[in-house]
Amino acid sequence: MRVTQQDIARLANVSQATVSRVLSGDARVETDIKDRVMAVISETNYQIDVRARSLRSKRTGLIGLVVKRPPGGLNDDPFFANLISHIMDFLAGRPYHLCVEMVSSASSQEAVYDELLRTRRVDGLILVESEARDERILRLQAEGFPFVLIGNPVEERESTIWSVDNDNVLAAKTVTEHLREAGYQRVGLLAGPKGITVSDDRIEGYRQGMSGSDCDDLVWHCDFGFLAARDTASDILRNPSRPDALLVLDDFMAMGVVLAARGQGLVIPEDLGVASFNDSSLCDLFERGLTSVSLNIPQIVRTACGRLLKIIEDKPIYGPRRMIIPTELCVRGSTTRRDV
Amino acid sequence: MRVTQQDIARLANVSQATVSRVLSGDARVETDIKDRVMAVISETNYQIDVRARSLRSKRTGLIGLVVKRPPGGLNDDPFFANLISHIMDFLAGRPYHLCVEMVSSASSQEAVYDELLRTRRVDGLILVESEARDERILRLQAEGFPFVLIGNPVEERESTIWSVDNDNVLAAKTVTEHLREAGYQRVGLLAGPKGITVSDDRIEGYRQGMSGSDCDDLVWHCDFGFLAARDTASDILRNPSRPDALLVLDDFMAMGVVLAARGQGLVIPEDLGVASFNDSSLCDLFERGLTSVSLNIPQIVRTACGRLLKIIEDKPIYGPRRMIIPTELCVRGSTTRRDV
DNA sequence: TTATCATGTGAATACGTATTCACGCGGTTG
DNA sequence: CAACCGCGTGAATACGTATTCACATGATAA
């Protein structure tokens, strides 16, 4: 059957308790005994049973990642895959594994949070939140469950929730100014659905970047995904008073805008400037490159995961509850006209 | 503290055993007692402790997904994200969760398999394999650990391993023939690194599609990722005896080919036909669309996951060990010349 | 009536580990 | 020399659940 610490103990002529101590690196056990036990362990190819350890130690060694999925759709936005990739990088070599959860509806999200919380399947959660007010988070908090939010905790919760985010307002302001400085006269914004925090923040930053000029009629909302963006952009660009530059919520949607522009014979960046967020690999797929704001995902992940593990392991955390990771504007061909 | 079955039992005036029976839907418990227990359960917001259940029942409720990552790189190929998305779809509503593991080097893979196997962290594995011969799989098999391979089990193992795959030979043959019928004279192949099964299979299919004509000098190898593909394609296309069509191992790499072609002023599909595999959302990002072979990932996932759960739950499986999911050639603009 | 049996429930146990408690031993201190 | 202490180890226990075993009850059959 299965090798247990009992078996090891018997073979090494020690007690099961000692085997456990050796495995957990207890300093008190004599060197020769430790060697003897280690020898038997490697001979027998023993590995600890994580199920038993979980029960006893109250730790599962699992980190949960909860991402919201566009309703009915898939997560083919490279942002998602990138996130997972970087989390795996961080976790590699550490005694934690990643458990991915996806939620679409708010009710399923409720259920998932509740299950994860009460069944203790994971030691902690990384939440990637987009919707502004989320009562479920309050529950996690009330129960003292370890979690870190990637995103904006909004208002009053700022000081009580551990979160990692970019300054989306500033980033949007910066890229908007870049577009105006590049010579575009009517800079528009293609935002996400209403009520999504990250979108709202960028709208705010866009407004700041448009300082003074009235720009409310240059803001459009649109569902996630590049197909929806393509269709919306088609409508926008068909209008005679169309913008001559579009700031788009993310790269994936921006690719839709590129398609729409091409479909109407508009040349990027001459007839239409395009910039967006995420700086994913998609940006290089566009001929002369897509100008985009890098969110610095590796650092976001490092910070978020690092903090989560500290919370789980009850270690002190230095720094503010809300960590802001600097963004970087990556200027590429989609906003650099050759003739200006 | 934490609510346990003991607490429920006390409140409902029954034994802990009865609570457990109610929870597992044991038919023998009286209706009124069951109701009483259920009432207390919902009052107290009780949820089972999965750690204890895992220890006792030998089931963790976790499915492991092991994907090989290009060395040093990230998994920004949408194929990967798609896979996860579809797996989550399948698992939604079932009592299983997904644990994602990534391996880069062969040695780390060895360690991951071994840990997953011995520590019993997961109930079963979905392996996405690309390298032809893999001794680690044999170990899993020898230990009787439940797993399903997405990919080609190669030769002798075919009859002993549960696997789900496309017929990559046939698919490559078909798309090659499509390119030739579209009027391309020198159809080349940009394959992956040597020794990758999926790549080798497609090379074979390509050869069949090129029936008769000597085509060995039209096959190139290249690392994964669109940057590597772009650079390799640049070299290929610079050569005066360049191919006038390229079949590429996957969409992500094909986007690199598109970039290289544009960089040299070649027009797709007129000067260069491009076709590839995966039929990911990237295909729509290319102006007139990228011709690609759909692998039918939803069905692959459904089949693989369905079988894995059956294996885990000891239910009978009907059908052959090696399941072949049909592919579908999706012809788009990158292979349809307007002037032919 | 008595013996047999089906049925529903509680008591007891096992799963494999981490940890507390107790103990023996050698050495130090007064 | 006695009392004490630190240290290393084994025995015992607890974690929360699923399951086996035993038993009480009531029904059925002889």
Helices A135-142 + A106-119 axis angle, to 10: 10
Rounded to a whole number of angstroms, the distance from the CA of A134 to the nearest CA of chain B is 20
Is the pLDDT confidence value at A340 over 60?
no
Rounded to a whole number of angstroms, the distance from the CA of A211 to the nearest CA of chain B is 34
pLDDT at B1: 65
Q: Which of A62-66, A300-304, B133-137 comes out lowest in average pLDDT?
A: B133-137
Residue among B177, B186, B165 nearest B206 (CA): B177
Q: Which of A97-111, A271-285, B311-325 comes out lowest in average pLDDT?
A: A97-111
Express each pLDDT in A309-339 by its tens digit.
Answer: 999 998 999 999 999 999 999 999 999 987 6
**Strand residues in chain A grouped as ranges (E):** 62-68, 97-103, 124-128, 147-150, 163-166, 187-190, 219-220, 245-248, 273-277, 291-294, 322-325, 328-330
Question: Does the beta-carbon distance from B55 to A60 stay under 8 Å?
Answer: no
How much of chain A exceeds pLDDT 70, in percent? 94
Q: Give B221's strand partners.
A: B191
B270, two tokens? 């007129």
- 3-state secondary structure at position A253: helix
Is the Cβ atom of A56 within 7 Å of strand C at any atom? yes
State the DSSP string of A146-180: -EEEES---GGGGGTS-EEEE-HHHHHHHHHHHHH
Question: Does the beta-carbon distance from B76 to A82 stay under 8 Å?
Answer: yes
10-residue stretch averages of pLDDT, chain B, 340 residues long: 91 95 89 94 94 95 89 73 92 93 77 85 89 73 91 75 95 97 95 91 96 85 91 96 96 94 93 96 88 97 97 93 96 84
Q: Give B148's strand partners.
A: B126
| A216 CB neighbour count, 10 Å cutoff | 8
Express each pLDDT in B46-79 by its tens digit.
Answer: 999 999 999 999 999 999 999 887 666 666 778 8
For residue A100, the chain B residue with the least C-alpha distance is B98
Express each pLDDT in A110-140 by its tens digit.
Answer: 788 888 888 999 999 999 976 656 677 888 8
Determine the Cα–Cα distance for residues A41 and A16; give it in Å rounded to an integer.
12
Helix (H) or strand (E) holding A88: helix A78-91
Determine the Cα–Cα distance for residues B5 and B12; give it in Å rounded to an integer.
10
Cβ neighbours of residue B123 under 8 Å, at least 6 residues apart?
A: B59, B60, B61, B62, B63, B96, B146, B312
Cβ neighbours of residue A32 under 8 Å, at least 6 residues apart?
A: none
Q: Give A262's strand partners.
A: none
Q: What is the pTM of this model?
A: 0.92
Q: Are strands A97-103 and B97-103 parallel, antiparallel or unpaired?
A: antiparallel
Question: Does the beta-carbon distance from A118 to B46 stay under 8 Å?
Answer: yes
Is the pLDDT confidence value at A76 over 90?
no
Is the Cβ atom of B29 within 7 Å of strand C at any atom? yes
Is the Cβ atom of A55 within 7 Å of strand C at any atom? yes
pLDDT at A133: 62
Is the pLDDT confidence value at A157 over 70?
no
For residues A74-111, one letter each, b for 16 or more C-beta atoms within 10 angstroms of the residue's C-beta and e for the rest, the string is: bbbbbbbbbbbbbbbbbbeeeebbbbbbbbbeeeebee
Determine the Cα–Cα distance for residues B262 and B276; give it in Å rounded to an integer.
17
Average pLDDT rounded to a whole number, residues A185-191: 96
| Range picked from A71-80, A96-105, A125-134, B238-247 for highest mean pLDDT | B238-247
**Cα atoms in the 13 Å half-sphere on the side-chain side of B74:** 20
